[in-house]
Amino acid sequence: MPTIFIGMSSIFHDTIAAVSTAPGSAGIAIVRLSGPQSLSITDSLIECCGDPPSLRPGGTFLHGRIVSDGAEVDEAIVLIFRAPHSYTRDDVVEIQGHGGRAAAERLLQAVLDAGARMAEPGEFTRRAFLNGRIDLLQAEAVADLIRARSDRAAAAAVEQLEGRLSAQLDALYDHLMAAAADLEASLDFDEGELPPSVLENTVRRLRESEQEIGALLDTWEEGHLLRDGARVVIAGQPNVGKSTLMNRLLGRERSIVTHLPGTTRDTIEETLVLGGIQMRLIDTAGLRDSSCLVEQQGVTRATDSIEQADLVLYLLDASRSVTEADRSQLEALKPEGTVVVQNKCDLLSGKVEPPDNRFETVTCSAAEDTGIDRVRDALKARLGQQDTPPHAVISERHRALLAGAHKLIEDARKLAQQDDALLVPAADMLRAALDMLGTITGRTYTTELLDTIFSRFCIGK
């Protein structure tokens, strides 16, 4: 991580401001300022008893009237955070006024008129990173926490914000650095004079680094589900109860249900949270050949949704024999990504036999609202990871860099094992791998990388 913040200084010379609370009706609205003029700008706006903000210590607050151009803007509470003990490690002031869009905009405009600059998206957190308060992984965790749609996603983001994933990556970086140093030292030996133990130790360290990266890469799927939500597609032939099941899982009437086959012509998406995982539940058109152009397009969209799904709930009508069309569809599905749901079991008096032992199968009657808990339990078991506590997990950006570093380390190890003459390209590969690992935490970064990451943030954070 770059060490930029030193003592009480800051690399920033301007003062930024933004509304840090969500728009709309609320009890309060907070305008946040960060930068060297935060306190003096606030001095120029507030009328209060006692000392002005610039003469008060950090960690205190005061009450007063915000006045701009002789007109009262709002009554407010002002919180003072002095550098380096603030979110950005600059002087920070938070002005808490009355909630509501108009009141917040009036308060912000008064601050901007007094000399502050409008903050860019994520600029407060970007300053926290550049001033050395947090690393890039922790900065990304802030955005993940804000966007979290489930308790489990929020808990994972908090773990990352507290530095658990950073500690893992830092330890991995140091371990690989030691291996790279050993390899660099080996270059000082003439060909054929290098003691075997030196290379053996280096190769061992490289293998350990590969294993550590592999363990981190294994967390990507969970991270994808937590951050993006799982795509759960309800598929099957027409009139097997897909829309009814969709409504039962959601607990409300979202999809139109009739006795006519082919009622659903388009994909219908809704959000559902089960087992701590946000799911995008997708109801699809019945899979059949049709001469109707609209229905054909619906079937095409259903097929595309199945291909992109994290999990498919494939519905069968338990009251009738499995059709050849169903068998053909099941043949194209992966058992690890599919749960077969035998619906309409209320129409049978006997035991329902599973159609294909390769697939997990549950039974229910969506019309009678029986067995729906079994479907929910199957979803949670496949996607909810209930047996493990929430923990920090890697994102797509991290996965790409880790996979690249893993390949470079693997190739460097193989070269080092082949011939002493190949140690120079092996050392070059390890340097490149270290750069990749450093880019994850922010030890190394470019302006373009920071622009990409912080553009995902809201203004005011």
More confident residue, 414 or 182: 414
Type of residue numbered 25: S
Cβ contact 383:311 at 8 Å: yes
Helices 423-441/136-147 angle, 10° precision: 40
Q: Which option is the CATH number for 16-134: 3.40.50.300, 3.40.50.11540, 2.60.120.920, 3.30.1360.120? A: 3.30.1360.120
pLDDT band at residue 407 using 50, 70 and 90 as cut-offs: very high
For residues 298 and 301, what is the distance between their CA atoms, to the nearest angstrom? 5
- What tens digit of pLDDT does each residue of 19-76 get? 999 888 889 999 999 999 999 999 999 999 999 999 999 999 999 999 999 999 999 9
- Residue type (1 letter), 179: A
The strand pairing partners of 117, in sequence order, are 16
- Any idea which architecture 230-383 has in CATH? 3-Layer(aba) Sandwich (3.40)
CATH fold of 141-219+394-441, please? Four Helix Bundle (Hemerythrin (Met), subunit A) (1.20.120)
Residues 286/238, Cβ–Cβ less than 8 Å? yes
Please report which confidence band the pLDDT of residue 3 belongs to, taking 50, 70 and 90 as the band edges. Answer: very low
Query: What pLDDT score does 182 carry?
Result: 82
CA distance 300 to 315: 18
Domain range list for the chain = 16-134, 141-219+394-441, 230-383
Q: Tell me what percent of the residues of the chain surpass a pLDDT of 90.
A: 49
Q: Tell me, what's the pLDDT at 389?
A: 58
